[in-house]
Structure 1
Amino acid sequence: MKHSEMMTCAMLNLMMKPGKQMLASKDNSSITTRK
């Protein structure tokens, strides 16, 4: 891959990680509120 492609992939991964964590926290909070 080109260096620029590697950089964009790294940026996307960094941007996606917090999004997944937020989704996980939302799921956990919804489960706790149901109880």
Structure 2
Amino acid sequence: RSFDSQVNEIHARVAVLNRFTEFGLPLTQVMP
């Protein structure tokens, strides 16, 4: 169950990062 929750969290983070990239924000500022 913990693994599934980790995968879901990763997918959520990727979706958020994709939203940031859509706005043109560099990933280097989002993720150091």
Q: Which runs of 5+ in 2 are unaligned?
A: 25-32
Q: Give the fraction of aligned pairs with identical amino acids, expressed as a percent.
A: 4
The structural deviation recorded for 1:34 is 1.1
More helix, by proportion:
1
Q: State the AA in 1 paired with 2:13.
A: A
Q: TM-score, normalised by structure 1?
A: 0.61
Q: TM-score, normalised by structure 2?
A: 0.65
Aligned to 2:18: 29
Pick the structure with greater CA Rg: 1
What is the RMSD computed on CA atoms of the aligned residues? Answer: 0.6
Q: Which runs of 5+ in 1 are unaligned?
A: 1-11
The number of residue pairs the alignment matches comes to 24
Task: Give structure 1 regions of 4+ aligned residues with deviation exceeding 6 angstroms.
Answer: none
